[in-house]
Amino acid sequence: MPSNTLNITVIQPDIVWENKQTNLANYESSITSITDKKEVIVLPEMFSTGFSMNTAEMAETMDGPTVNWMKQITRDHKCILTGSIIIREGDNYYNRMLWVQPDGVVYHYDKRHLFAYADEHNHYTPGDKRLIVSVKGFRICLMVCYDLRFPVWARNLDEAYDVLLYVANWPEKRSIAWRTLLQARAIENMSYVVGVNRVGKDMKGLNYIGDSSVFGPLGEMIFQVSNSEAIQTITLEKEVVEATRAQLPFLKDADKFIIL
């Protein structure tokens, strides 16, 4: 049934490089420790491996161990779990964000904008469609990391969503862009924006400070955490989005176009 509130639990981890077993064990411990009501739990981009181009060894199929682990977690904790992993389908590899429900239903979004600066475009196949999921009356648009830099792809056409959700491995040296663009996406789309990132250092020597954040539909900061692992539950209110759009109907003046 629809509800006025939705709990989003952000997990900001230090990912152990290409060590799925350790990472999944750490997440399971973190999820078990959550004392707030579990509804939607968000892990970062490539949460089981780090931002790896080692597709030959790290990729799994949709019936592989990580997807099955996610299904088990959602059944055990009666919650939704989301984040991206490396998926293989035929000869193609995808940076795929999964939305796993406790009823066993799995939706997915394949990262549209591949990060050529890190050679991602030579290892992965880009997605070609957006995904908006629904839970408790909230409509949530799923996005991955570099997608954040491309506002047209995220544009909230016809008020299609209430929450814009990004998962990422976004390094410290570009953290100003991360924080600024998350806030900008909230303002221009008049929606909640949730961005979930990692901390620590990867095997490429890149440092991550997290800055996992939640912004409201006017760009107001609701939550942000930096420089440490964190688990935090934030309660979103549907009435805040509805009241903001009713009072300030800016989206109705937006340019009309079609995202193919």
Query: In Å, how far are 17, 83, 110, 127, 207 from 162, measured between CA atoms?
Result: 34, 19, 20, 22, 32
Residues belonging to the active site: 45, 111, 145
Cα distances from 77 to residues 34, 61, 92, in angstroms, run 10, 24, 32
CB of 43 within 8 A of CB of 81?
yes
Rounded Cα distance between 212 and 195, Å, is: 5
- Listing DSSP states for 28-75 in one string gives HHHHHH--SPPSEEE--TTTTT-S---HHHH-B-TTSHHHHHHHHHHH
